[in-house]
Amino acid sequence: MRRLNPAYLTALFTRVQSAPFPHHISMRLVDIEMDRCRIELDAATEHLQPFGIVHGGVIATLVDTATFWAAFGPIPADAGLVNVDLKLNYLEAGHPGRLVAEGVLVRSGRTVSYAEATVRSEDGRLLARGASTLMVLPGKGLDIPVPKFLD
């Protein structure tokens, strides 16, 4: 079974944490494995809509990001991914505090993958569930000068 190279993951975390959008929204990739990931966001005033709850777009972004990184592990090092659909259900309002999104890869394919994610509050309340179909993009991989896999 293939495993992700820890040196590659270190470089990946550095790349993701310094990217403009995750930095702007204060979202962090906390853990990634071959078929799952964990994303965290500390919801603050800037993440709230006028009624004082976390904006649905923030929750959708967490689902989108968690499904993406859950599907990222098995694809070739020279390939990228793009979400081609996103489905989610909002189950409870989010409030300021840590939000945790966990993504799980359901199926990895050569051209299409499918992943699911949950978003929970820091006390474990289920705020949303979602799923995404992702297309593998050959030749669109990250330029990380370390092998992605340990064989």
Return the closest-CA partner of residue 66 out of 20, 104, 98, 92: 104
Q: Is the pLDDT at 151 greater than 80, yes or no?
A: no
Strands 97-107, 27-32: parallel, antiparallel or unpaired by DSSP? unpaired
What is the chain's Cα-based Rg? 15
Percent of the chain with pLDDT over 70: 100
User: Average pLDDT for residues 125-148, to the nearest whole number?
Assistant: 97
Is residue 120 within 8 Å of 91, Cβ to Cβ?
A: no
User: Average pLDDT for residues 35-52, to the nearest whole number?
Assistant: 97
Q: Is the pLDDT at 1 greater than 90, yes or no?
A: no
Say what the pLDDT of residue 36 is.
98
pLDDT tens digit sequence for 93-128: 999 999 999 999 999 999 999 999 999 999 999 999
Strands (E), 10-125: 27-32, 36-43, 79-90, 97-107, 112-121
Please, what is the average pLDDT of the chain? 97
Termini Cα distance of the chain: 8
The token pair that represents 144 in the structure block: 């990380």
